Copies of this chain bind each other. A is one copy, B any other.
């Protein structure tokens, strides 16, 4: 009984890096504003996140830390989103996401706004563990921060 409304429900394999300098082609990349907030979070990375872009709203459950996490996501109608969103007050963040194709992968570059303005982070999702392990970051990537709580979105939003 898998739903067609699902966007993703599986294990995420991804790595996260700080960004030393913005890439040259940034302006040509697709971008959109993301607003997100957390209804509840536990240790071990267990969390329920609401997210809204100009295109869609979603609710995402995650559990686990580091480069391998379980993730379950559903799309929300605007009404469903509006009903739950007030529950995230004081636990929100806003960022502009750029989607940058890179070799066979997609780099998601997030420029934070508001309280965390100045922070720029890049995430790369991999189809399998092998490609995750052999990934060679582009020169404009900085230090890897995969699994560092300080740079988790939930920590940035709640603290």
**Partner-B contacts on A (CB < 8 A):** 1-6, 9, 39-42, 46-48, 59, 61, 63, 70, 72-74, 76-80, 82-84, 86-87
Contact = CB atoms under 8 A, between A and B. Distances in A.
A74 to B, nearest CB: 5
11 contacts: A1-B79, A3-B77, A6-B79, A39-B46, A39-B48, A40-B48, A42-B42, A61-B84, A61-B87, A70-B87, A72-B83
Given A6-B79, A74-B79, A74-B84, 18 more contacts: A1-B78, A3-B77, A3-B82, A5-B77, A5-B79, A5-B80, A6-B83, A39-B61, A40-B40, A40-B42, A70-B87, A72-B83, A72-B84, A72-B86, A72-B87, A73-B83, A74-B80, A74-B83
